[in-house]
């Protein structure tokens, strides 16, 4: 297929690379052109704007930062939906709002295209290994057409329902992770204070009832003091904010989610918004009087 791909950051570059490897013709656009250099070296074509990346394409995929970015690249001046002929498939893989997903779906349909919301989970590791979980919202026919593209990037690919359902499912994912991140950090702090070998602890608990992607993938990074992003704190904080807003609209009170949101606000305020979500450990160390790591250092 002839594809446009918008956003080649921590996850997007690997995802676009898998599409190249699958034999698709990929035109890329990203705000920072240097982030696309490795893809251009492998045969991708550069586009100066989202609409240029969309012209003459069969499908456009995107994974950008914030809902405002999604709105801009699809609905803004020079956005995908201003193309002379809108591509048949528009697939946004950013974690965004269900409301915006439904809006893009309606706008695309009015111009002859089909929009799908397909946020992902798995972080930089899942993107590199093409093992992402992909949560899909949209009409059945277009979703079926998009499946070969999803299969090049992920493993657990589930059509959750109509437009917006993928984003709602991703909110469930983030709510689960929010409290889990607190538990992982607190557990590793406990292990350290008890004089245990953290790696051995993870070996034991990671294969039992407490096992999770978070402890098995981010736990070792925490032990190594590696707080570089697989997923940015600032983006996770955005997701938790969306989840809280959506929950409020449904009349739900989710105190665990609210606590995690408050913690991550403190992490970002300390200047660690561009670190990985595992940087929450630094805040909990500070709250417990640990002097090994200064928050924000």
The answer to whether residue 297 sits within a structural domain is no
Confidence at residue 291, expressed as pLDDT on a 0 to 100 scale = 59
Domain C-terminal end among 130, 162, 194:
162
What average pLDDT does this structure show over 17-34?
Answer: 95
Whether residue 142 is found in the same domain as residue 250? no
Confidence at residue 210, expressed as pLDDT on a 0 to 100 scale = 95
pLDDT beyond 90 at 297: no
Q: What is the pLDDT of residues 67-125, one digit of tens each?
A: 999 999 999 999 999 999 999 999 999 999 999 999 999 999 999 999 999 999 998 99
Mean pLDDT of the chain, nearest integer:
95
If pLDDT is split at 50, 70 and 90, which confidence band does 33 have? Answer: confident
DSSP state of 295: T
Helical ranges in 155-279 per DSSP H: 165-193, 198-205, 213, 219-223, 233-249, 255-267
Give the percent of the chain with pLDDT over 90. 93
CB 68 within 8 A of CB 11: no
CB 227 within 8 A of CB 279: yes
Whether residue 120 is found in the same domain as residue 179? no
Least confident of 59-73, 187-201, 215-229, 278-292: 278-292
Q: How many CB atoms lie within 10 A of CB 184?
A: 24
Q: Who's near 134: CB < 8 A, 6+ residues apart? A: 93, 118, 119, 120, 150, 153, 154, 156, 157, 158
CA distance 74 to 97: 14
CATH number at residue 40: 3.40.50.720
Nearest partner of 132 among 234, 213, 20, judged by Cα? 213
Whether residue 92 is found in the same domain as residue 149? yes
If pLDDT is split at 50, 70 and 90, which confidence band does 16 have? Answer: very high
CA distance 154 to 58: 20
Residue 2 Rama label (left phi>0; alpha psi -120 to 50; beta) = beta
Q: How many domains does the chain have?
A: 2
Whether residue 198 is found in the same domain as residue 71? no
Whether residue 220 is found in the same domain as residue 248? yes
> How far is C-alpha 290 from the chain's CA centre?
31
The answer to whether residue 294 sits within a structural domain is no
Whether residue 87 is found in the same domain as residue 24? yes
Q: Who's near 89: CB < 8 A, 6+ residues apart? A: 58, 59, 60, 113, 114, 116, 142, 145, 146
The answer to whether residue 296 sits within a structural domain is no
CA distance 13 to 188: 32
Give the percent of the chain with pLDDT over 70. 98
If pLDDT is split at 50, 70 and 90, which confidence band does 292 have? Answer: low
Domain C-terminal end among 115, 132, 162:
162
**Positive/negative CA dihedral, 212, 215, 221, 226:** positive
Whether residue 221 is found in the same domain as residue 185? yes
What average pLDDT does this structure show over 154-158?
Answer: 97
Confidence at residue 295, expressed as pLDDT on a 0 to 100 scale = 52
State the DSSP H helix or E strand holding residue 156, giving kind and residue range, or none if neither: strand 154-161
275 is catalytic: no
Q: What is the pLDDT of residues 253-271, one digit of tens each?
A: 999 999 999 999 999 999 9
Q: What is the pLDDT of residues 267-288, one digit of tens each?
A: 999 999 999 999 999 999 999 9
Among 35, 155, 170, 238, which one carries the catalytic annotation?
A: 170
Q: How many CB atoms lie within 10 A of CB 164?
A: 22
Strand pairing category for 132-137 and 120-121: antiparallel
What average pLDDT does this structure show over 12-22?
Answer: 97
CB 115 within 8 A of CB 104: yes
| Rg for the chain, CA atoms, rounded | 20
CA distance 209 to 288: 27
CA distance 226 to 41: 29
pTM listed for this prediction: 0.92
The answer to whether residue 113 sits within a structural domain is yes
If pLDDT is split at 50, 70 and 90, which confidence band does 293 have? Answer: low
- Which residues does residue 115 pair with via DSSP β-bridges, in sequence order? 90
Whether residue 177 is found in the same domain as residue 210? yes
pLDDT beyond 50 at 129: yes
CATH number at residue 228: 1.10.1040.10
Q: Which domain does 8 fall in, by range?
A: 2-162
If pLDDT is split at 50, 70 and 90, which confidence band does 32 have? Answer: confident
Domain C-terminal end among 98, 127, 162:
162
Q: Is 245 helix (H, G, I), strand (E, B) or coil?
A: helix
């Amino acid at each position: 297929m002839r594809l446009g791909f918008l956003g080649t950051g921590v996850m997007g570059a690997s995802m676009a690379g898998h599409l190249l490897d699958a034999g698709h013709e990929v035109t890329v656009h990203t705000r920072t052109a240097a982030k696309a250099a490795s893809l251009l070296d492998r045969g991708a074509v550069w586009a100066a704007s989202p609409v240029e990346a969309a012209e003459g394409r069969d499908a456009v995929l995107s994974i950008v930062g914030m809902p405002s970015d999604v709105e801009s690249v699809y609905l803004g001046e020079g956005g995908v939906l201003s193309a002379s002929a809108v591509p048949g498939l528009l697939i946004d893989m950013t974690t965004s709002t269900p409301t915006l997903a439904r809006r893009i779906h309606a706008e695309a349909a009015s111009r002859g295209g089909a929009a799908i919301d397909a946020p992902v989970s798995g972080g930089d590791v899942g993107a590199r290994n093409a093992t992402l979980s992909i949560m899909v919202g949209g009409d059945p026919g277009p979703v079926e057409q998009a499946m070969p593209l999803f299969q090049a990037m992920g493993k657990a690919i589930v059509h959750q329902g109509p437009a917006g359902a993928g984003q709602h499912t991703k909110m469930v994912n983030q709510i689960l992770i929010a409290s889990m991140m607190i538990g992982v950090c607190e557990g590793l702090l406990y292990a350290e204070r008890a004089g245990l070998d953290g790696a051995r602890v993870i070996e034991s608990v990671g294969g039992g009832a407490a096992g999770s992607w978070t402890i098995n993938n981010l736990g070792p990074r925490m032990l190594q003091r590696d707080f570089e992003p697989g997923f940015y704190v600032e983006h996770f904080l955005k997701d938790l904010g969306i989840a809280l807003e959506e929950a409020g609209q449904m009349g739900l009170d989710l105190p665990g989610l609210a606590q995690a949101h408050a913690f991550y606000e403190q992490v970002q305020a300390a200047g660690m918004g561009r670190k990985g979500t595992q940087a929450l450990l630094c805040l909990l160390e500070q709250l417990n009087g640990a002097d090994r790591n200064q928050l924000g250092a």
